[in-house]
Amino acid sequence: MIYIIVLLILFLDRLTKFLATKNLLLNQSVPIIKGVLHLTLIHNRGAAFGILKNQAPLFIFTSTLAIVLIYYSLKDTGHKKPHIYNLSLSFVLAGALGNLIDRLFLGYVIDFLDFRIWPVFNVADSAITVGAILLAWSMLKSTKKKVQRRE
């Protein structure tokens, strides 16, 4: 099931980036809900929020390392992990793969979702964010259970 989730998110990321690049000009912004949601095509050469611009080798290295570590963590069946933990890592893995593909083949990440109150992002970024939130929740939940068992 993990690999199906990864493939679905990765497919959605690739499809939406393809559609954005085919239907928008660079820096063009098209309102979907004026003032709330726009589609704005940008080429992000940095990390989150555009920080560390033009550091592609660093991003490629760290993304590859994260992907390898997540893959082996998901593959490790030595001990049972909570479903939400595996789900969260699946989301992060898919997002990291989606943005790594952009960096390897284009030298930048395609971003296009523009909510006007947040930097422009993409489906892969969303997957990483959702995965990180689920991972934090999973870890907090696990810690709470351990504390309750000790009492």
Question: From the centroid of its chain, how far is CA 70?
Answer: 13
DSSP code per residue over 44-76 = E-SSGGG-STT-HHHHHHHHHHHHHHHHHHHH-
Q: From the candidates 13, 102, 114, 125, which is the catalytic residue?
A: 125
Catalytic site includes residue 125: yes
Q: Which of 13, 102, 111, 114 is catalytic?
A: 111
Amino acid at 111: D
Of the candidates 52, 71, 36, which has an alpha carbon nearest to the alpha carbon of residue 109?
Answer: 52
**Is 111 in the active site?**
yes
Active site residues: 111, 125
